[in-house]
Chain A
Amino acid sequence: MMSTTAHAPTTTALSGAEVLMRALIEQGVEVIFGYPGGAVLPIYDALFKQSHIRHILVRHEQAAVHAAEAYARSTGKVGVVLVTSGPGATNAVTGLLDAMMDSIPLVCLSGQVPTALIGNDAFQEADTTGITRPVTKYNYLVRRPEDLAPAVHEAFAIARSGRPGPVLVDLPKNITVGDAPYIGAQDIRPRTTKVRTQPEREAVARAVAAMKGAKRPLFYTGGGIINAGPQASEALRRLVDMTGFPVTSTLMGLGAFPGTDKRFLGMLGMHGTYEANLATHGCDVLIALGSRFDDRVTGRVNAFSPGSFKIHVDIDPSQINKIVHVDEGIVGDVGAVIDMMIEEWEHQPAATHEADLAAWWAQIEGWRALDCLRFTQDGAADAIIKPQQAISRIYELARETRRETYVSTEVGQHQMWAAQFFRFDSPNRWLTSGGLGTMGYGLPAAVGAQVAHPDALVMDIAGEASTLMNIQELGTIAQYRLPVKIFIINNHYMGMVRQWQELLHGSRYSESYSDALPDFVKLAESFHARGLRVTRLDELDNTIRQALAHDGPVMVDICVAEGENCFPMIPSGAAHNEMILGPEQESSGAEVSTEGRMLV
């Protein structure tokens, strides 16, 4: 247990639940996403009796976690979840792992049966700390009243320190019912993982020297920059201004550098742009900032950016050399590292490779001229809408509103198209399940973002299959009158599954057809939201505009072409320079190696 330097018991006895509320308030918590149940009734009672913290009642515990993730991701604060014991806690597991994979700071409070019953297979008992150990940064089972407040304070410290992540505090009912001492956050010394935020100067100097000597440099930025706060994004912009280097980003890093800036090459990786992937393959110095060489980024690892000097900046030392061997690993807060890189860049002798850099940019512009995201949309008034057309129009028309905009997605083709077509100019605006790829993330995430930003435009770019996985959250949206705009890109298929079956499994569409879909318009209406449907090209813009202008929740069923595939694509097991650009280049499946097919 963490050490307490002073016990400061309060004069009036507080119940454990009241101590919990006080600790949450001291931690600055404003919103909790949760769902009540037997084991957390004392906590809900304490919640009822206070007025500092707002509770958002979700319709499923998984959704509580995703909503809290989006709340955290879009505000930079720690998201808080409250669930009951047993099924409440197990339902939260997927969300916790999602937050773990995408480094989202969360504190999940779970109820537990009284300590005397633990191990007796009591009603709604689960070994919650055992189940959640691999999906959290840390977890607690609070067995003694005096451990309660310190555990909560430490949980927040761990969730937000270093590489952020989820922390679970399991609270037996006798602990929340009985008296407990309140101990303030200043009275404990929280253990966190050993975090180095300030980088080693010499390593940064060596990295900058390599950058100065680069002929074909590339920044490869990731979600770490978003986690490092808006000042890290600002610093990145300055560093790119100074160096003139091109920038590519991971899925999680979108928005850290402006998507509309000329120096931004788009996302890299499996569904990244041609220019980003060929630049990654051909660069001579690769500067990875807060990114982790995920398999969706690297493609075949031994062919990843083969000739480059690699610099990797990460706050988590275990990420360095985990997948790709790097030449200069720098442990530190990526914002602090970029600041130091800027100092070093100013301090070190000027780069002498202006001409080389210009030639590199000319090469990149050549790749960019291929316009790899192009698609053909039949222009007839009654033409079937292409999913790319739908998503690019949502982007353009939402942009025209000039409102502060947050975008969540579900998982699949629509997610990749959204990542390709939406150009985020600010961090914290893009909410997507990257590492875990959790279908059903987008709708609850939109709830969390709208709760955090009541006046902003919040959209969920959804697929008809994914969105059904947490469709019950329409109830939450109705209860709190959250004016979320849900755009369902409805192609009647689990699109990405269908795409892989076409490319890798001989077009045998095994179980990927979305049969027996609900009438989404009626479904929306039954949840007191507006429902719209569009099937023809000439009605697309108008329908999107209507949805954006409506001041309540809207669900738009956009019926799109069924067979469209998401390109460009690096087939699994292939290298960046072996990407498929479009349908004309589709492989028959026979060309993909068995090794490649084994990759997910």
Chain B
Amino acid sequence: MQQEISGSAVISLLVDNESGALARIVELFSGRGYNIQSLTVAPVDEQGTTSRVNIVTTGTPSAIGQVKVQIERLVPVSRVVNLSDAGPYVAREMALVKVVSSGESRTEALRIAEAFRARAVDTTATSFVFELTGSSDKLDSFIDLMRPLGLAEVSRTGVASICRGPKTIQNF
């Protein structure tokens, strides 16, 4: 059998909003040795009874295929889509980035933030908190650029994702 190449995938699922549902999903990953790079979860319907979970995972295509079918076995999960495998999709993440600096570095940080369309949501004489939304790659490079300019703290949401076009998670 040929060697498979490991890659990353975004899996989106709909789950009944009940106690223990998230634990089931997370424990499935840890129990079976799968990897979670990021995870987001929030209710998405009017009554708040259904939550959407987005998981970024890495693995070979067959391992990711196994992840999907294993999640499908969970009773409260009603839908599972591997977005990376199902056509074009949008994946976005938000970060809050704290930079503590003064003088030259402070101006440079502000200049780069502008180029990235990051907003300063908190400003003091010695610090900024930038809010930045975009792909995970974009967030990574912004954070890399801030590192020599006084990067002090990062808080990221993990990825929210949705497929492009009129199709929804319900249509897969």
Please, what's the 1-or-0 string for A134-147, where 1 marks a CB less than 8 Å from any CB in chain B?
10011101010000
Is B75's CB within 8 Å of the partner chain A? yes
Whether B16 pairs with A318 at a CB distance below 8 angstroms is: no
CB proximity of A36 to chain B, nearest CB, Å = 27
Q: Is the CB of A137 within 8 A of B70?
A: no
A302 to B69, CA, bound (A): 23
Complex contact B65–A129 (CB within 8 A): no
Q: Do residues A158 and B72 form an inter-chain contact, with CB atoms below 8 A?
A: no
| Residue numbers in A under 8 Å from B76 (CB-CB) | 191
**A321 close to chain B: CB less than 8 A:** yes
Pick from A141, A302, A316: contact of B73, CB under 8 Å: A316
Decide yes or no whether B45 CB sits under 8 A from chain A: no
* Residue ID in chain A nearest B70 by CB atoms: A318
Bound-state Cα–Cα, A158 to B75, Å: 8
Q: How far apart are A321's CB and chain B's nearest CB, in angstroms?
A: 7
State whether A192 touches B75 (Cβ < 8 A). Answer: yes
Name A134's contact: one of B27, B62, B70, B75 (CB within 8 Å): B27
Interface flags for A306-322 (1: CB within 8 Å of B; 0: not) read 00000000001110011
Report the number of A-B residue pairs with Cβ-Cβ less than 8 Å: 42
Residue of B nearest to A317 (CB): B69
- Contact in complex: B72, A1 (CB < 8 Å): no
Q: Which residues of B contact A302 (CB under 8 A)?
A: 1
Is B31 in contact with chain A by the CB < 8 A criterion? yes
B75 and A129 form a contact (CB under 8 A): no
Which A-chain residue is minimally distant from B18 (CB atoms)? Answer: A1
A194 to B77, CA, bound (A): 9
Residue of B nearest to A194 (CB): B72
Q: How far is the CB of A590 from chain B (nearest CB, A)?
A: 30
* Inter-chain contact B75/A133, CB cutoff 8 Å: no
B-contact 0/1 string along A566-580, CB 8 Å cutoff: 000000000000000
Please measure, in the bound complex, the distance between the C-alpha atom of A542 and the C-alpha atom of B109, giving whole angstroms. 93
What is the CA–CA distance of A141 and B27 in the complex, to the nearest angstrom? 18
Instruction: Give chain B residues whose Cβ lies under 8 Å from the Cβ of A1.
Output: 16, 18
Q: Closest CB of chain A to B28's CB: distance in Å?
A: 8
Q: Which residues from A are CB-within-8-Å of B66?
A: 318, 321-322
Is the CB–CB distance between A193 and B72 below 8 Å? yes
- B115 within 8 Å of A by Cβ? no
CB of A141 within 8 A of CB of B19, answer: yes
Interface size on A, residues (CB 8 A): 22
Determine if B1 and A191 form an interchain contact, defined as CB atoms under 8 angstroms apart. no
B5 at the interface (CB under 8 A from A): no
The distance from the CB of B13 to the nearest CB of chain A, in whole angstroms, is 13
Asked if A379 lies at the interface with its beta carbon under 8 angstroms from chain B, I say no
- For window 321-335 of A, CB contacts with B under 8 Å fall at 321-322, 325
Of listed A191, A192, A318, A321, residue having the most chain B CB within 10 A: A318
Query: Does A130 have its Cβ within 8 Å of any Cβ on chain B?
Result: yes
Residues of A within 8 A of B20 (CB): 129-130, 133, 139, 141
Chain A residue numbers with a CB within 8 Å of B72 are: 193-194, 317-318
CB distance from B81 to the nearest CB of A (A): 14
Asked if B86 lies at the interface with its beta carbon under 8 angstroms from chain A, I say: no
Give the number of chain B interface residues (Cβ < 8 Å).
19
In the complex, residue of chain B having the shortest beta-carbon distance to the beta carbon of A331: B69
Q: Which residues of B contact A322 (CB under 8 A)?
A: 66
Contact B23 A130 (CB under 8 A): yes
Q: How far is the CA of A325 from the CA of B66 in the complex (A)?
A: 12
Residue B138, interface by CB 8 Å = no
One digit per residue, 1 when the CB lies within 8 angstroms of any chain B CB and 0 when it does not, for chain A 207-226 equals 00000000000000000000
How many angstroms from the CA of A143 to the CA of B65 in the assembled complex?
Answer: 35
Q: Are B31 and A134 in contact (CB under 8 A)?
A: yes
Q: For B23, what are the chain A residues with a Cβ–Cβ distance below 8 Å?
A: 130, 133
| Chain B residue contacts of A193, Cβ below 8 A | 72-75
A302 CA to B1 CA in the complex, in Å? 8
Q: Once bound together, how far apart are the Cα atoms of A129 and B18, in whole Å?
A: 13
Contacts of B70 in A (CB 8 A): 318
Whether a CB of chain A sits under 8 angstroms from the CB of B24 is yes
Q: Which residue of A lies closest to B67 (CB)?
A: A318
- What is the chain A residue whose CB lies nearest that of B24? A133
Complex Cα–Cα for A191 and B18 (A): 13
For B18, B69, B70, B76, which residue has the most chain A Cβ atoms within 10 angstroms? B69
Of residues 492 to 540 in A, which have CB atoms within 8 Å of B's CB atoms?
A: none
Q: Are A318 and B74 in contact (CB under 8 A)?
A: no
* Identity of the chain B residue whose Cβ is nearest the Cβ of A154 in the assembled complex: B75
Which residues of A have CB within 8 Å of B74? 193
Which B residues are CB-close (under 8 A) to A130?
20, 23
Q: A133-B23, A133-B24, A302-B1 are in contact. Are A318 and B73 (CB under 8 A)?
A: yes
Contact flags A1-23 to B (C-beta < 8 A → 1, else 0): 10000000000000000000000
Q: CA of A485 to CA of B76 in the docked complex: distance in angstroms? A: 44
0/1 interface trace, chain B 52-66, chain A, CB 8 Å (1 if under): 000000000010011
| List of A residues within 8 angstroms of B31 by Cβ | 134
Residue of B nearest to A320 (CB): B69
CB contacts under 8 Å to A, within B31-52, are: 31
Chain A min CB distance to B16 (Å): 7
Which residue of A is nearest B72, CB measured? A194
How many angstroms between the C-alpha atoms of A592 and B72 in the bound complex?
39
User: Which residue on chain B has the smallest CB distance to residue A137?
Assistant: B75
A321 to B62, alpha carbons, bound, how many Å? 8
Q: Which of B71-95 contact A (CB under 8 A)?
A: 72-76
What's the nearest-Cβ distance from chain A to residue B29, in Å?
A: 12
CB distance from B43 to the nearest CB of A (A): 15
- Minimum CB–CB distance from A157 to chain B (whole Å) comes to 10
> How close is B32's CB to chain A, nearest CB, in angstroms?
10
A318 nearest in chain B by CB position: B69
Residues from chain B with Cβ under 8 Å of A143 in the complex? 19
B-facing residues in A380-423 (Cβ within 8 Å):
none
- List chain B residues, Cβ under 8 A from A321: 62, 65-66
> Which residues of chain B (3-28) have a CB below 8 Å from chain A?
16, 18-20, 23-24, 27
Once bound together, how far apart are the Cα atoms of A141 and B18, in whole Å?
A: 11
A-B contacts, 11 of them at CB < 8 A, read A1-B18, A129-B20, A130-B23, A133-B27, A134-B27, A134-B31, A137-B75, A141-B19, A191-B76, A193-B73, A316-B73
Contacts A138-B75, A325-B62 known; 13 new A-B pairs at CB < 8 A? A1-B16, A129-B20, A130-B20, A130-B23, A134-B31, A141-B19, A158-B75, A193-B72, A194-B72, A316-B73, A318-B66, A318-B72, A321-B66
A-B pairs with the 3 shortest C-beta distances? A318-B69, A138-B75, A317-B69
Chain A: residues with CB nearer than 8 A to chain B?
A: 1, 129-130, 133-134, 137-139, 141, 143, 158, 191-194, 302, 316-318, 321-322, 325
